[in-house]
Amino acid sequence: MPRLSNQKLKPLYLAKILLERTDEENVMTAQSLVDALAVYDVPANRKSIYDDIEALKQFGLDIEHQRGKNGGYYVSSRDFELPELKLLVDAVQSSRLITKAKSRELIKKISKLASEAQAKQLNRQVHISGRAKTLNETVYYSVDAIHAAINARKKICFRYFDMSPSKRRVYRQDGRAYYRTPVALCWNDDNYYLVAYSHYFDNPLASFRVDRMTDVIILDEPAHKYDKKRFDVTSYIRRNFGMFTGRIEKARLVFDNHLVSVVIDHFGAEIQMIQTSDARFEISAEVSASPVFLSWMFQFGNQAEILEPESLKGAMREMIKMGRAIYGE
């Protein structure tokens, strides 16, 4: 009886063997396929192999026959080509959102989409300068719960923490839960952020780093409705790049011409640029008057300047003044 049962599974085992062991550079003869099936206690002969391969080809598996002395059968194409898998592995390995343990787990799963020989090429080490991995293993489940809540139009509750110098979690609000309407998830500076709404506050939109959220629960309570024209999420994200809160200012900024690509990366391709001289251009944009924005501008030295408003220029002077107090003139 077991032998009969395995015989019925022969085409499935044959597909498994071909997918795992063959590619354009690694082929298997009909006899080697017979021997491989025997390991699974599946009897076969070369004639039945030919018939099963034809059935698998009709099913959609792209099997080619390489003729010649060293010829044999192999899977010619897959859902993902090897360069695509390498790109996925590099993205998983370099992402700071994904923990080291989860990275290894995901790469192992990705490797199963290639042949065993190709999978060895996916054992890559991507070196990213200054890149640190998150320590929060629950981030994947938090992202999933947030997406589910947005789709179901439900509120969520969660706890939110900062890290202490001893690398311990210090929960805000003394550990009490936040109750919010999830509006959107966005990716900024290699971090996931939740943009959430609460009608209890003067500034109802706020952002939270997902890797600092724990105990995310979808509530039965329906999401709060809000004026999407008044609280435009895209504009909010653009104004608050760096995801630090601050007063929103309408600013006039000037940059050297070679910073065009940098400006487009931060403000979007639709930003209007006015050439003010052969060497410089000017933009007008809403920005968050926060240390993050000021630091971003400061990094360009004399190649960028805040023209207006005076309050933003004053904030920059204060930041420089504090730096001088620490480091001297």
- Domains of the chain by residue range: 2-75, 82-122, 139-233, 247-327
Please state, in angstroms and rounded to a whole number, the distance separating the CA atoms of residues 259 and 253: 12
Q: What is the mean predicted confidence (pLDDT) over 259-277?
A: 88
Quote the pLDDT of residue 304: 96
Provide the pLDDT confidence category of residue 131 given band limits of 50, 70 and 90: low
Q: What is the mean predicted confidence (pLDDT) over 290-309?
A: 92
Q: What is the mean predicted confidence (pLDDT) over 137-146?
A: 85
CATH annotation of 247-327: 3.30.70
Quote the pLDDT of residue 199: 78
Our measurement of the distance from residue 112's CA atom to the centroid of its chain's CA atoms, rounded to an integer in Å, reads 21
Looking at CATH, the fold of the domain delimited by 2-75 is given as: Arc Repressor Mutant, subunit A (1.10.10)
Residue 133 has pLDDT above 80, yes or no: no
Beta partners for residue 148, in sequence order: none
Residue 264 has pLDDT above 90, yes or no: no
Dihedral pair phi/psi, residue 253, rounded to 5°: -125, 145
Quote the pLDDT of residue 240: 64
User: One-letter amino acid identity for 116?
Assistant: E
Residue 73 has pLDDT above 60, yes or no: yes
Please state, in angstroms and rounded to a whole number, the distance separating the CA atoms of residues 183 and 225: 10
Q: Of 286, 225, 282, which Cα lies nearest the Cα of 250?
A: 286
Cβ proximity of 195 and 184 under 8 Å = yes
Cβ proximity of 227 and 269 under 8 Å = no
Quote the pLDDT of residue 259: 93
Answer yes or no: same fold for 2-75 and 247-327: no
Q: What percent of the chain has pLDDT over 90?
A: 52
Please state, in angstroms and rounded to a whole number, the distance separating the CA atoms of residues 175 and 162: 11
**pTM of the model as a whole:** 0.60
- 53-62, 133-142, 259-268: which range is least confident on average? 133-142
Task: Enumerate residues 6+ apart whose C-beta is below 8 A from 262.
Answer: 255
Quote the pLDDT of residue 157: 96
Query: Helix crossing, 10-21 with 46-59: angle to 10°?
Result: 80
Residue 288 has pLDDT above 70, yes or no: yes
Provide the pLDDT confidence category of residue 172 given band limits of 50, 70 and 90: very high
Quote the pLDDT of residue 241: 56
Cβ proximity of 209 and 192 under 8 Å = yes
Q: 3-class SS at 160?
A: strand
